Structure 1
């Protein structure tokens, strides 16, 4: 079976940045399982996998526009330190959930000052060119339940 919309795909991958530094990998773990066409993975990788089948190996370069987007300056904001009441230690690199007009969003602390904390709502990989080495482990038809839920169930997927 070839990868197409509504297929459940299992892949092993290694992700590196432009400098060749490994950012993530599924090696030594269960393969990543996703529902193709349901926006479960970044578009650049999903598009490159169309038509591939079990056992195929490929290298994919994903530009920011097809990955986690460009860095958006408006997502970096200074907030009053009083918003962190009850948290004694705030350090760069810490992550919190912020309430935004479009719902909860993870933010990363960039800088801490006496009165303000600078938060970045960009994805940590925004603005980066991503390089994936991928092996397709398995391709199967999605179940009706997986299609209605928009994600994979069972091994490598979501459990309800």
Structure 2
């Protein structure tokens, strides 16, 4: 029996233009879906960060605003933000005046009967009105209405 010996092989592969275009579209769609997924994850992580860290106190919010401005190249606002941040950090630290006062008021209000709470709201609204802050009077009313409903 004789042996067959292959000395040379030539082949050619040709991809049809329609197939090449379909593969390109499929690859582009896959990339777009992947990038959209990454963007959703990034936005979700940023929102979680804002809820958990930034919105915890005014100083954290100012720091976040400062960082966002620094990304945009708003160097002119740095001095003003630094000053405001220093004030907020001292006011809203755990042993800051307003934090301690809020704790005391919270303790006082939890023990106050409902009728006395309503009287206190009337007094607070009168103080705000006397100081010309009608916008705050409206905000207090809105909070009370929301809680009552």
User: What TM-score do you get using the length of structure 2 for normalisation?
Assistant: 0.20
Q: Which has the higher strand share?
A: 1
Q: Kindly indicate which of the two structures has a greater share of residues assigned to helix.
A: 2
